[in-house]
Amino acid sequence: MEHARQVIDFDRRLSMLVMDGVERIEVAVRMQVGYVLGRSPVFAHEDPGLHRHVHRTAGRPQTGDAAPSQHAEWLRRVLERRDGSDEGFVAHFRDKHDGQMPIWALTEVMEMEHLARLYRGLHQQYAEEIARSFAVPTKTLMVSWLASLNYMRQVAAHQARLFNRKLQYAPGRPKKGQLPLLDHLRDEATAKGVFGTYNTLAVIAYLLRSIEDDPGWCRWLVDLIEEFPSSHALSPASMGVPEDWAEFELWSRS
């Protein structure tokens, strides 16, 4: 029973750390998306032409009516989020501008789910500029990472078991040499951990390094995993953690 309690406590602390890391990244993504799209028309988010994923399905099985485009469904969710916000700046736009908000302001009420969907649909030129600001080389990789971060945050927020979960949305691994800090994700010895929690933790660490001079988050995670309550059946390897992982430059304490 004592070991089970220790595992539960470890998982709780890991979930809190994941939510903290993802929230920091979310703030940075909001700011960068607002900055890049802010150079477009102020209501660019309402323009399906700005987005790549705007197709309609053949129709709803029940009625035969055309289903909403992915852009329309995304916009509906974002506006629901806006309308439910009690932030002072939202109230200002609600009172003075009939609720209409420019993209640079609307991003402030978006959560990772909204940002990930928005980013996935952006034209290449906007998406690549945003990715480069996080030292990510391609839109494809950034799309995968944002989806994985959103998934991990939802798991953590719902207090579901996290530490040895097999990820439904595993982050894409960069090619060898593309991002040296993450080269170890391509090592044959860690191939079986592709869908383990560690890969997303490594992505969080990488992104935080791109936005913070001193990502204390990385040190906190190292300290936490070093306290993992190992047993004959469980170890950090259950998370997909490779051997000697704490010695990798990604987790450097310097």
Contacts of 66-74 with CB under 8 Å at 24 or more apart are: 70/117, 70/121, 71/121, 72/48, 74/114, 74/117, 74/118, 74/121
Residue 92 lies in a domain: yes
Among the listed ranges 7-11, 85-89, 132-136, 183-187, which one has the minimum average pLDDT value?
85-89
What pLDDT is stored for residue 98 in this prediction? 75
Residue 62 lies in a domain: no
Q: What is the number of helices (H) and of strands (E) in the chain?
A: 9, 0
> At 54, is the pLDDT very low, low, confident or very high (cuts 50, 70, 90)?
very low
Please write the tens of the pLDDT for every residue from 169-226: 999 999 999 999 999 998 866 555 567 899 999 999 999 999 988 779 999 999 999 9
Residue 17 lies in a domain: yes
Residue 60 lies in a domain: no
Residue 164 lies in a domain: yes
Residue 28, CA distances (Å) to 124, 208, 210 in order: 20, 9, 10
Residue 59 lies in a domain: no
Mean of the per-residue pLDDT values for the chain? 86
Residue 63 lies in a domain: no
> At 23, is the pLDDT very low, low, confident or very high (cuts 50, 70, 90)?
very high
Highest mean pLDDT among 50-64, 123-137, 205-219: 123-137
Please write the tens of the pLDDT for every residue from 88-100: 777 778 777 776 7
Query: Is residue 165's pLDDT more than 50?
Result: yes
Residue 61 lies in a domain: no
Structural domain that includes position 119: 2-54+68-251
Query: Is residue 144's pLDDT more than 90?
Result: yes
Tell me the angle at which helices 197-211 and 2-37 cross, rounded to the nearest 10 degrees: 40
What pLDDT is stored for residue 89 in this prediction? 78
State how many domains the chain has.
1
Highest mean pLDDT among 55-64, 126-135, 209-218, 243-252: 126-135
Does 56 or 231 have the greater pLDDT score? 231
